[in-house]
Structure 1
Amino acid sequence: MSRSAELIVEGYVRLDDRDALHDMLVHRQDLLRQLTSVTGIDPNQAIAQLSEEIAIIEAGLATLAPE
């Protein structure tokens, strides 16, 4: 999935769509918060994936000019 996230982020960066990137970031951060409170299963793989995608999105946002 992270390659998919990379391609999506690259597209939004090319379009200079900070709002879409921010929405992606907030959504994944919310999912990460929810996963850290899950009991009864091992969410470590999903947590690692979300953390990687958050890093990709944050890197994309960092390339955009400040508002």
Structure 2
Amino acid sequence: MPNAIELIVDGYVSLNDPRALDDLRMQRRKLAVDLKARTGFDYQATIQQIEDDIAVIEAGLARLDGAAAS
């Protein structure tokens, strides 16, 4: 069963909206940087989930790039 980020990315890909995907990726990257800068608590599991989300978003962008190249 796909998770939420996969469904969101699939929606943006079907709408052919790379800008929305890029905005989503940038938001996730900023969040990861902010969490990595924090101390006093182990955010590693959350950071890993965010990095997994970024990988899904980048795969969606690659699908759009592949469709544009065809």
Tell me the TM-score normalised to structure 1 length. Answer: 0.92
List runs of 5+ in structure 2 lacking aligned partners: none
1:30 and 1:16 map into 2 onto residues whose CA distance is 24
1:3 alignment partner in structure 2 = 3
1:23 alignment partner in structure 2 = 23
1:10 and 1:17 map into 2 onto residues whose CA distance is 10
Higher-RCO chain (CA-CA 8 Å, sequence separation at least 6): 1
1:3 and 1:22 map into 2 onto residues whose CA distance is 19
2:44 and 2:6 map into 1 onto residues whose CA distance is 21
Aligned-pair CA distance for 1:20: 0.5
1:59 alignment partner in structure 2 = 59
1:23 and 1:8 map into 2 onto residues whose CA distance is 13
Which 4+ runs in 1 deviate beyond 2 A? none
1:41 alignment partner in structure 2 = 41
> Could you say what the CA RMSD is over the residues aligned between the two structures, in angstroms?
1.2
2:18 and 2:44 map into 1 onto residues whose CA distance is 29
| Count of residues paired in the alignment | 65
Structure 1 residue identity aligned to 2:15: L
SS of structure 2 residue aligned to 1:63: helix
